[in-house]
Structure 1
Amino acid sequence: MLSTREKYYQMLEKEFHSKEDVVTELINLEAIMNLPKGTELYISDIHGEFGAFDHILRTGAGNIKEKISDLFQDRLTEREKDQLTILVAYPVESLASDSLFSHKDISWYRTKIRQLLELLTFSSTKYTRSKVRKALPKQFAYIIEELMYTNTAYVDKAAYYDEILSHLLELEQGDAFISALCQSIQRLVVDHLHVVGDIYDRGPEADKIMDKLCQHPSIDVQWGNHDILWMGAYAGSRACLMTLLRIAARYNYLYEIEKAYALNLRPLFMYAEEHYQKNPVFTPKEKCSNVNYSIESLDTLEKVHQALAILQFKLEGQLIKRHPEFDMTDRLLFDQINFDQDTITLKNKTYPLQGSCFQTLQKDLYALTEQEEYVVDMLMASFQQSTKMQEHMNLLLEKGSMYLVYNQHLLFHGCLPLTDKGDFLPLKVNGINYRGKDLLRFFEDQLRQGCDLQISDNPHADWSWYCWTGNISPQFGKSAMTTFERYFIADKKTHVEIKNSYYKFRDTKKTCEMILQEFGLYSPHSRIINGHTPVKVKGGESPIKGEGMLFVIDGGLSKAYQKTTGIAGYSLLNNSYGFQIVTHDPFYSIEDLIETQTDDTSLKRVIDHDISRTMIRDTTIGESIEEQIETLKGFLHYQMN
């Protein structure tokens, strides 16, 4: 009887038909192990801001501009370098602009194609020819390869090179060829993308971001609290669904997600028109998209906003009541209202209410009316059955996780809850304490099981809601979410949300080392990459914490945060030489970029001491290749015997 290994070797025989095939593959894999590691880009807290996100990807978070500067140095002026950067990032728009390149004659096309080929070759030096080929658009792949690897120092080869360019331009393929080169450069300047959470909410175009991620060749996602809100809704949490729809109404993009995901919001709109009136407390925030609505549409949105808020608070109350282990009875705020006096009592202090809209509350304050049950059920069915929603949630499940250890670095979105003394804070569930890494694994397990079941208000989906708002949640990381108070109580003292001790202790090297060791990381070069909390640059806050051991890369990509942060977010690059932190200015439009002809993205090297260059052999991918090598060596020995 054949062993499992022998059966596996028989399967390999179908792929490798001879010993020579195995030897060739072994040589190839060993060679790959000695290449420098590719550049990784870390980005978090995108919050539906597709334009800014797309700009970061197109420019490689400033990496394209840096490569152009390194390659061309004094051969191009600073203005020419900026123009070339914009061309690479936005080839179609740049070629259509007379202001950026006013004289596009044959000589201009030949010069630009040569520059782009040189930049493409420079950007591909640490990749195998096979990998570069995969990054090339099929239409021009053969021609690009020929031009990239033709040595024009030889007269015959130079003539061959010029002849190819001449025929391209005679056939009026100059624009298409330049676009193909630019897209290939974009693909190669960043080898792998890490999205450290919060793709959704606050901005109007999360669907476009997800569409782009679905097409990306190499990504992973660490779920953020806003992503988990959407995944929890997909799993069947009605409270999560009402919350994400309320946020969309509050930030004025409900109509956009209705269209993007083909949601049926008609029952909700009809219900809101019947039961709610105009209420300035629920006027949506400043428009986040470019679409202008009529006064009637905005009035309707104000009513829908109220309906969603009350539905959310009712459903949250039901959750809290059926899960005493959540320890959240203090958030049963309807119980604290004096409806006759229109006041609420919190912590023995009474406050007047503003914008009260409690007309649908019954004797059981948290029970839905029959009409509300119908509305919520219809919304849930529409949400879960959306084809695009299914595609996007499946991507998050396939490529995502609560945390990731990659190349000896630890990535997670929110926090690891800590006690006041700096120890891991436990969450007790069914007599078991979950803390540190186990806490993240617990929530990931609950979320995956919930998405497998996809039934309304299943207990696994309930934990998704707790992960969104619970005080021992690694994604929320605060004492309480004071949404109710922000709507109905003017006194801002009631709006305060106290951060978990993690946000104090992460400034210390000792805590960072404790966290890394919890995940089996003992290398002095290991780092923590974090998102979730906007860095208040205006107040002098730095994104580098724990004596350089932790990076916070949420600097405020969302427009909703930029007045507080003063910038438009951070991202992080990691190449074979170390980390670079990237500061982004607000992105307004492609037209503005072409008009100003400059991109002010700035890179700062944060690893200042000399370290040995990281090769593929030293990476997570290298570990996988090493396993393949050992397997093939065993297979070769098997063939020879």
Structure 2
Amino acid sequence: MRDQDYLRLLSGRYPTLRAAAAEIIHLRAIEQLPKGTEYFFSDLHGENEAFIYLLRSSSGIIRDKIRETFGHFISEAEEIQLANLIYFPDRVIRKMRADGEFTEDYQKIAIYRLVRIAKVVSSKYTRRKVFKKVPQDFADIIDELLNVDENDANKKDYFDEIVRTIIATGITENFIQDLCRLIQNLTIDNLHILGDIYDRGPRADLIMDELMHFHDVDIQWGNHDIAWMGAYCGNRALICDVVRMAISYNSFDILEDGYGINLRPLSMFAAKVYGDDPCSRFLPHEWDRNVYDAVDSALAAKMHKAVSIIQFKLEGQIIHRHPEYRMDGRSMLEQVDYEKGTVRSMGRTYEMKDMNLPTVDPKDPLRLTAEEEELLRTLEFSFRHSRLLGRHIDFFYTNGSIYKVCNGNLLYHGCIPMEKDGSFESMNFGGQAYAGRALMDRVQSVVQNAYYLPEDDPGKGECVDFLWYLQCGPKSPVFGKDHLASFEHYFVDDAAPKKEKMNAYYDLNGKPEICEKILKEFGLPVAGSHIINGHVPVRRKDGESPVKAGGKFYIIDGGLSKAYQQKTGIAGYTLIYNSWHLMLAEHRPFDPASENTPRLKVVEEMPARVMIGDTDIGRQMEQKIEDLQELVAAYRNGTIKENNRTGDRN
């Protein structure tokens, strides 16, 4: 029985019995509609062109809808043109205008076809929900077109006249663009990003812009995302880390053109300190070419080495501040024997292949020089005062989490740390051990505190430091390895210390009983639930499968990043969950000049069609219906009086 005070508050929104009853009817009807389609992406790694194409094309589903709707009535060339119009309407229309092809006849045909597709993809939504997604300038017109039967003789002239008038008033281009955006929004109801939007690829900032304009998106933070979040929060080691990664993958555009990070002081410092050093071990990868900020590779190598050495100093300082991290052996500049030219790593000694370290004092290797301190102040100022980066990080915090439970699925980027025997690995915070879900919740709290605590709060610095641990620490659930071998990759030729040992979780996650244990830990039923994971690329060309544990476990990092595609043989996965089935879209390496339709494969059929009433939203609706039923009863027995003067709710 609801508290009377609560029912009185509810009566403010539903002031009459009729208003409350009407809402019950509305909610009951919605429960019987099919659930919306959810899309799961992982490890985007800055590949903006590929991701935006996949998002706007719904990983090939829109092309399927066109084929299903028009069949053999239009040619394959017309199919492709219509699909590209839906994905990139401004680009296609601009080209057609230049070629003299954007004629009145084409405009009429395009509008008719787009309306047909919009009707198909909107069919499982309420008219009210579709109307909310319609761009407002043409909301009434689009609503009419979507809900008029143009085959009805009484309405055909009405429909045709609307289209003729759109063309005659010269608003066709804007109208088509709005129709295309509506189709995109209706095809994907919910978008889940399982981490690592940043690093390696050229323009993660453009991906963030696209996500911020999407209607319903959530993010499960990855280790590379945590690095950027920490950089914005003022963690200097992570500032150096994200700069180092951008230089390493030749992605200056995101720093300078994207976020306005001032790299000139770094370039001047690096040129001065490493003037005669070729820094050949620090030459950037050539995965992508910068469009706006081309940097000479020799200078880039010097900048890369300079910021790396500063990062290793700062990491050592964090390790000293936090003995509870138990990472003494990873303060790498303190593991170097500067007389012998060797370094201690993972219990063994190796020859250093580069001993030109002019800013490192062998007697105090973690001490920053005055020039390095000044450089760090400049970089920190740039990061903390970048308005665009601030908006993107705020979006990460307001729409992100370390994990998410949604419609029977458990989503996270890295791992649930485990011991070899299958028990959950624990981590201490303030003398208390946390493991499993409790560890994930505790990590979530610390990450939030790093951003939301006031600058003068004595605990904020500890939380900001912990973001560095999350990015590379051995018990971090978003990292999942025993060490990060960046130093060894730069300075050691032997392969052994570069091998990063994965957490036991990655050997165990293919076992059904382990997946069931994890699902139960997060309050999910074993039957019908799934774990959806990213972080580790699936080597498809070596026969690895993204589906494990008899369909309980999906790992969907298939190598969208160009840096991984030689290993995986593909270019990533999209997992698609609609009312009928789970489907995997397997993507080919993106080529803007060719057709990029992925291979679609149904991997699990639902026992019965999943309706909105079966989802998390449906359960919330059911609770609201119970509340409204009590309100109706209160109106009927006079416990609460109706307010007829307010009028029925529309």
TM-score relative to the length of structure 2 = 0.92
Matched, 1:586 2:589: yes
User: Is 1:433 matched up with 2:436?
Assistant: no
Instruction: State the partner residue of 1:605.
Output: 602
CA distance in 1, matches of 2:45, 2:607: 35
Contact 1:197–1:227 (CA under 8 A) maintained in structure 2: yes
Which residue does 1:69 correspond to in 2?
67
Between the aligned partners of 1:365 and 1:243, the Cα distance in structure 2 is 19
Structure 1 residues 392-435: Cα deviation after superposition (integer angstroms, max 9, x where no partner): 11111111111000001100000111111222111233332211
Query: Displacement of 1:436 after TM fit?
Result: 1.1
Query: What displacement does 1:453 show?
Result: 3.1
- TM-aligned CA deviation for residue 461 of structure 1: 1.5
**In the TM superposition, what whole-angstrom CA distance separates every residue of 1:554-611 from its partner, at most 9, and x where no partner exists?**
101111111211111111110011210111112232xx14xxxx33312100014x51
Q: Is the 8 A contact 2:57 2:63 kept in 1?
A: yes
Worse-superposed segment, 521-530 or 345-354: 345-354
Residue aligning to 1:236: 234
Residue 450 of structure 1 is matched in structure 2 by 450
Is the contact made by 2:218 and 2:399 (CA closer than 8 Å) also made in structure 1?
yes
Distance 1:347 1:449, change over 3 A: closer
What letter corresponds to residue 318 of structure 1 in structure 2? Q
Give the equivalent residue in structure 1 for 2:533: 530
Residue 572 of structure 2 contacts residue 587 of structure 2 at CA under 8 Å; is this kept in 1?
A: yes
Partner secondary structure for residue 607 of structure 1: strand
Name the structure 1 match of 2:54. Answer: 56
Q: Which residue of 2 aligns with 1:632?
A: 628
**Which segment is superposed worse, 512-521 or 334-343?**
334-343
- Residue aligning to 1:344: 343
Q: Distance in 2 between matches of 1:428 and 1:177?
A: 57
For residues 73-152 of structure 1, the aligned pairs below 5 Å read 73-97=71-95, 105-152=103-150
Aligned partner of 1:520 in structure 2 is 523
- CA positional deviation for 1:613: 0.8
Deviation of residue 383 (structure 1)?
1.2
Residue of structure 1 aligned with 2:568, choices 555, 565, 570: 565
Q: 1:403 to 1:293 in 2, by over 3 A?
A: closer
* CA positional deviation for 1:70: 2.5
Q: Helix, strand or coil: the match of 1:316?
A: helix
Kindly state the Cα deviation for residue 112 of structure 1 after the two structures are TM-superposed. 2.6
Match of 1:547 among 528, 547, 550: 550
Give the equivalent residue in structure 2 for 1:224. 222
Is the CA contact 2:203–2:253 (under 8 Å) kept in the aligned structure 1?
no
Contact map agreement 1:204 1:257 (CA 8 A) in 2 = no
3-state DSSP of counterpart to 1:404: strand
Quote the offset at 1:334 in angstroms: 2.0
Length-normalised TM-score, structure 1: 0.93
Task: Give yes or no for contact 1:235–1:454 (8 Å, CA) kept in 2.
Answer: no
Are positions 1:285 and 2:285 aligned together?
yes
Name the SS for the 1:520 alignment partner.
coil
The 5 A counterparts of 1:386-535 are 386-453=386-453, 455=455, 458-535=461-538
* 372-381 or 190-199: bigger deviation: 372-381
- Correspondences of 1:174-189 after superposition (within 5 Å): 174-189=172-187
Deviations 1:95-144, CA, capped at 9 Å, x for gaps = 34459998554443333322211111111011111111122222222222
C-alpha distance in 1 between matches for 2:2 and 2:153? 58
3-state SS, counterpart of residue 606 of structure 1 = strand
Contact 2:575/2:585 (8 A) holds in 1: yes
* Residue 633 of structure 1: how far off its partner (Å): 2.3
Does the alignment pair 1:623 with 2:622?
A: no
Q: How many residues end up aligned between the 2 structures?
A: 631
* Alpha-carbon distance in 2 for matches of 1:80, 1:294: 39
Q: Could you say if the C-alpha distance between residues 625 and 294 of structure 1 is closer, same or farther in structure 2, counting changes exceeding 3 Å?
A: closer
Residue 370 of structure 1 corresponds to 370
The 1:443–1:425 alpha-carbon spacing in structure 2 relative to 1, beyond 3 Å, is: same
When structure 1 is superposed on structure 2, of 363-372 and 180-189 the one drifting more is 363-372
Structure 1 unaligned regions, length at least 5: none
How much does 1:6 deviate?
4.1
Amino acid at match of 1:331: R
Distance 2:346 2:604 in 1: 48
The answer to whether the 8 A contact 1:235-1:455 is kept is: no
Deviations 1:57-79 (A, max 9, x none): 11011111122222233333444
Query: 2:43 aligns to what?
Result: 45
Aligned equivalents of 1:268 and 1:414: distance in 2?
33
Cα deviation for residue 34 of structure 1 reads: 1.2
Task: For 1:303, give the aligned amino acid.
Answer: K
Instruction: Measure how far apart 1:13 and its partner are.
Output: 3.9
Matches of 2:627 and 2:234, distance apart in 1? 43
2:306 is matched with: 307
Say which of 168, 188, 191 aligns to 1:193.
191
Aligned pairs for 1:322-341 (under 5 A) are: 322-341=321-340
TM-fit CA distance, 1:149: 1.3
SS in 1 for 2:563: coil
Q: Which runs of 5+ in 2 are unaligned?
A: 639-650
Shift of 1:287: 4.8
Q: 1:551 aligns to what SS in structure 2?
A: strand
Instruction: Specify the code of the residue in structure 1 equivalent to 2:232.
Output: Y
Q: Are the structure 2 counterparts of residues 182 and 284 from structure 1 closer, same or farther at C-alpha, using a change threshold of 3 Å? A: same
More off after superposition, 165-174 vs 598-607: 165-174
Secondary structure of the residue that 1:71 maps to in structure 2? helix
- Measure the CA separation in 2 of the matches of 1:439 and 1:16: 42
Distance in 1 (alpha carbons) for counterparts of 2:320 and 2:290: 42
Question: What is the rounded CA distance, in whole Å, between the counterparts of 1:381 and 1:315 in structure 2?
Answer: 17
C-alpha distance after superposition, 1:229-281 (max 9, x if no partner)? 11122233221221111111111123531232222334333332332233111
Cα distance change of structure 1 residues 73 and 334 upon mapping to structure 2, 3 Å threshold: same
Question: Which region of structure 1 is more displaced relative to structure 2, 67-76 or 28-37?
Answer: 67-76
Shift of 1:294: 5.7
Question: More displaced, 249-258 or 320-329?
Answer: 249-258
Alpha-carbon distance in 1 for matches of 2:406, 2:280 = 48
CA contact (8 A) 2:59 2:597 kept: no
Give a deviation string over 1:208-238, Cα, whole Å, max 9, x none.
1111222211111100111111112223322
